[in-house]
C-alpha cells in the first residue's frame, strides 16, 4: 500500500540506475556527485558507484596511460571485472540496502558496455537512465584535468605537466572506440539525456517517470560558473533575546548593529552582481534594508512553522507539551510541530529555492536557523540526521564557494554579540526514521491537557492494524472532539 511517503509523490517501486557516459574529463563524476547530493537531500536514497575507484582498489599503483590502451588485454580484463564488481554492489544497494537510485559512474563509451548494463537492469527490474556528457572545448577539458585529475591518487607522484600529458593520452585511448548515444537510430528506444558543451544544449529522449523528469530539470539548471553563495541569519531579534521561537518580531539593537556590519562586509566582498534574498518575516527584511540594495522576499524562506509552539520558549514548551518536546528530541528531522512543520517539510518547501540558487551566480540569502540548516545540508551534503543540529549561529556569515567536486565553506563572524540559539542533540538511544514517528496534522498536540482519555473505537483499531505499518513507542491520545474516531495511524508522516 502506498500510504507512507510524506508530502510528495510516491516513487515507483522500480529503483533506477543512472549510467554516466562520456570521455574522461567531461564532468561525469562532477555530475554524479552533485546529482547524488541533490537526490539525497530531497529524500531519495542515492549512491554513486565510481568504477575508477574500484580500479584503484584492484590495481594499487597506477603506472601510466598504457593501462588504458585498447590493446592492453590484461588491463581490459581487469577493467571489465571492476565494472562487474561495481554492478554487483549496485544490485545489493538497490535490492537489499534500501537504495532508490544508483549512479554508475564510468566512461561507458561503447555500445557493448551499455548493452551489458541494460541487460543487468532488465534482469533485476531496474529502470536505466543514461546521462552523456559531450564536450569538445579544449579549454573546458584542460580546466577539468587541472581541477580534479592532476591531484587524484593516480598522479600523486607526478608533477602537474606530466600528469596533464598522461591524462590527455588516456583520453585518446577511449576516443577511437567511443560510440556516442545515437538518438536517431541505435539508441532511440532508451531513456537518456545528452548534456552538450557544459549545458549549452541538451538532448532528452524518452523520459519515463517523475524521477527522470526531476533529474533532467536539475541538470538543466546547474552551471559551472564560478560564484559565491553567502548564507546568514537575520540579525538578533527581540524574540531571540527572550528565548522565544518563531513569531515575527523585529531586530534587537544588537541585531541592527549586525545589519550594519553585514552591509560593510558585503561591500568589502566587492562583487560585481549580487542578488539578495530574504524571507517574508520582518527580521530578515529589516536586516536586508540596511544593505541599501534591492532584495527579493521569498515566503519559502520563512522560518519553520512551530505550529502551536510558536512564540514559546523551550522551557514553556517542555512544561506545557512535554511529550511533544521529548518526541522532537527523539527525531528532530521527521518531527512535525502540531499544526506546524518538520525539517522534512522544510526541505520540500525549500526545493525551489535550491533550484533557483543553482541557476544564479552570486547570492546572499538572509534567512533563519532551521532554514539555513536545510540549505547548508544541501551544499555540504549533510544527512537528515545531522541537518537539524548543524551550527548556524547568529551574526555569522557562511561563505560557500564551489570547488572541485564539493563546496568550500568559510565562516565569518561579524563581531557583534548575540544570544546562542543552538540546542545540542540530547544523549539518546532511540531508533529513528519516518515510521517511528507519526504526526497527524491535528490541532491537538500529543499530550492533551484533558484529564481523561476517551476510549478508542475498537473496530477502527483492528482496521488500522491490518493496513498500516506497525509503530513502536507511539502513544496516541484521543482527540477532544466527542465521539470522534482516532485516525492517527493513518496519518503517517
The interface region with other proteins, picked from 113-121, 237-245, 297-305, 414-422 by CB under 8 A, is 297-305
Q: What's the closest the beta carbon of residue 463 comes to other proteins, in angstroms?
A: 8
The interface region with other proteins, picked from 58-66, 126-134, 226-234, 283-291 by CB under 8 A, is 283-291
Cα 436 versus chain centre, distance: 22
Instruction: Give yes or no: 463 in active site.
Output: no
Restricting to residues 215-254, name those near other proteins by CB under 8 A.
216-217, 220-221, 248, 250
Question: Annotation-wise, does 175 bind a ligand?
Answer: no
For 147, other C-beta atoms within 10 Å of its C-beta total 15
Q: Figure out which of the listed residues 105, 166, 303, 345 binds other proteins, where binding follows CB under 8 A.
A: 345
Query: C-alpha dihedral over 415, 421, 427, 432, to 10 degrees?
Result: -120
Euclidean distance between CA atoms 204 and 54, whole angstroms: 30
Q: Is 243 left (phi over 0), alpha (psi -120 to 50) or beta?
A: left
Question: Annotation-wise, does 237 bind a ligand?
Answer: yes
Which string of DSSP letters, residue by residue, matches 227-244?
--EEEEEPPPBHHHHHTB
Nearer to other proteins, 380 or 464 (CB): 464
Question: Annotation-wise, does 55 bind a ligand?
Answer: no
By the rule CB under 8 A, 487 interacts with other proteins: yes
- Here the cell at position 348 is 520540500
- Please report which helix (H) or strand (E) contains residue 75, including its range: helix 73-95
Site string for other proteins, 321-340 (x = CB under 8 A): ------------------x-
From the list 96, 97, 136, 234, the catalytic residue is 234
From the list 74, 136, 267, 303, the catalytic residue is 303
Q: Figure out which of the listed residues 75, 285, 380, 409 binds other proteins, where binding follows CB under 8 A.
A: 285
Residues in the chain: 493
- Here the cell at position 129 is 537512465
Sign of CA dihedral 39, 41, 42, 45: positive
Euclidean distance between CA atoms 196 and 139, whole angstroms: 15
Restricting to residues 427-466, name those near other proteins by CB under 8 A.
440-443
Nearer to other proteins, 7 or 45 (CB): 7
Restricting to residues 160-189, name those near other proteins by CB under 8 A.
183, 188
Contact 302, 372 (CB under 8 A): no
Q: How many of the chain's residues bind other proteins (CB under 8 A)?
A: 70
Nearer to other proteins, 153 or 485 (CB): 485
Question: Annotation-wise, does 340 bind a ligand?
Answer: no
Question: Annotation-wise, does 472 bind a ligand?
Answer: no
Pairing of strands 201-205, 192-196: antiparallel
By the rule CB under 8 A, 310 interacts with other proteins: yes
Instruction: Give yes or no: 267 in active site.
Output: no
Question: Annotation-wise, does 5 bind a ligand?
Answer: no
By the rule CB under 8 A, 46 interacts with other proteins: no
Euclidean distance between CA atoms 78 and 74, whole angstroms: 7
Rg, Å, the chain Cα set: 26
Helices (H), 176-223: 210-221
By the rule CB under 8 A, 361 interacts with other proteins: no
Nearer to other proteins, 85 or 360 (CB): 360
Helices (H), 183-295: 210-221, 238-242, 253-269, 282-289
Residues facing 396 on adjacent strands: 413
Contact positions vs other proteins (CB under 8 A): 1-3, 5-10, 183, 188, 200-207, 209-210, 213, 216-217, 220-221, 248, 250, 256, 259-260, 263-264, 267, 277, 280-282, 285-286, 289-292, 294-300, 310, 339, 345, 348, 356, 359, 440-443, 479, 481, 484-485, 487, 490-493
The catalytic residue positions are 234, 303
Point out the annotated binding site for substrate. Answer: 233-240, 283
Amino acid at each position: 500500500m502506498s500510504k507512507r511517503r510524506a508530502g510528495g509523490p510516491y516513487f515507483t517501486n522500480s529503483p533506477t540506475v543512472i549510467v554516466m557516459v562520456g570521455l574522461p574529463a567531461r564532468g561525469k563524476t562532477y555530475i554524479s556527485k552533485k546529482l547524488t547530493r541533490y537526490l539525497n537531500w530531497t529524500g531519495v536514497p542515492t549512491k554513486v558507484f565510481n568504477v575508477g575507484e574500484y580500479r584503484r582498489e584492484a590495481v594499487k599503483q597506477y603506472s601510466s596511460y598504457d593501462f588504458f590502451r585498447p590493446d592492453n588485454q590484461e588491463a581490459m580484463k581487469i577493467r571489465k571485472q571492476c565494472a562487474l564488481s561495481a554492478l554487483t554492489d549496485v544490485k545489493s544497494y538497490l535490492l537489499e540496502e534500501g537504495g532508490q537510485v544508483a549512479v554508475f559512474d564510468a566512461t561507458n563509451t561503447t555500445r557493448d558496455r551499455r548493452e551489458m548494463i541494460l541487460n543487468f537492469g532488465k534482469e533485476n527490474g531496474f529502470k536505466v537512465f543514461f546521462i552523456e556528457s559531450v564536450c569538445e572545448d579544449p579549454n573546458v577539458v584542460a580546466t577539468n584535468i587541472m581541477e580534479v585529475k592532476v591531484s587524484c591518487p593516480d598522479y600523486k607522484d607526478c608533477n602537474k605537466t606530466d600528469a596533464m600529458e598522461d591524462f590527455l593520452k588516456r583520453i585518446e585511448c577511449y576516443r577511437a572506440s567511443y560510440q556516442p548515444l545515437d538518438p536517431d537510430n541505435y539508441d532511440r528506444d532508451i531513456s537518456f539525456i545528452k548534456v552538450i558543451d557544459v549545458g549549452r544544449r541538451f538532448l532528452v529522449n524518452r523520459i519515463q517517470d517523475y524521477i527522470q523528469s526531476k533529474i533532467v530539470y536539475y541538470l538543466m539548471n546547474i552551471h559551472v560558473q564560478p560564484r559565491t553563495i553567502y548564507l546568514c541569519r537575520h540579525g538578533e531579534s527581540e524574540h531571540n533575546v527572550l528565548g522565544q521561537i518563531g513569531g515575527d518580531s523585529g531586530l534587537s539593537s544588537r541585531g541592527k548593529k549586525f545589519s550594519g556590519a553585514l552591509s560593510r562586509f558585503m561591500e568589502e566582498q566587492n562583487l560585481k552582481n549580487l542578488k539578495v534574498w530574504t524571507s517574508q518575516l520582518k527580521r530578515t527584511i529589516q536586516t536586508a534594508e540596511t544593505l541599501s540594495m534591492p532584495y527579493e522576499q521569498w515566503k519559502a524562506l520563512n522560518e519553520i512553522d512551530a505550529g502551536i509552539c510558536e512564540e514559546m520558549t523551550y522551557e514553556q514548551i517542555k512544561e506545557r507539551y512535554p511529550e511533544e518536546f521529548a518526541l522532537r528530541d527523539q527525531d528532530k528531522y521527521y518531527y512535525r510541530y502540531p499544526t506546524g512543520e518538520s525539517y522534512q517539510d522544510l526541505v520540500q518547501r525549500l526545493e525551489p529555492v535550491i533550484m533557483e540558487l543553482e541557476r544564479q551566480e552570486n547570492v546572499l540569502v538572509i534567512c533563519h536557523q532551521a532554514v539555513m540548516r536545510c540549505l547548508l545540508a544541501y551544499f555540504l551534503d549533510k544527512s537528515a540526521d545531522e541537518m537539524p543540529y548543524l551550527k548556524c549561529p547568529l551574526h555569522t556569515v557562511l561563505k560557500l564557494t564551489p570547488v572541485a567536486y564539493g563546496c568550500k565553506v568559510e565562516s565569518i563572524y561579524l563581531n557583534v554579540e548575540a544570544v546562542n540559539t543552538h540546542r545540542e542533540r540530547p544523549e539518546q538511544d532511540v531508533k529513528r526514521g519516518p515510521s517511528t514517528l507519526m504526526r497527524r496534522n491535528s490541532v491537538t498536540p500529543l499530550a492533551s491537557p484533558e484529564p481523561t482519555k476517551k476510549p478508542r473505537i475498537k473496530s477502527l483499531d483492528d482496521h488500522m492494524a491490518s493496513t498500516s505499518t506497525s509503530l513502536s513507542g507511539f502513544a496516541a491520545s484521543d482527540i477532544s472532539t466527542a465521539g470522534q474516531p482516532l485516525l492517527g495511524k493513518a496519518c503517517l508522516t
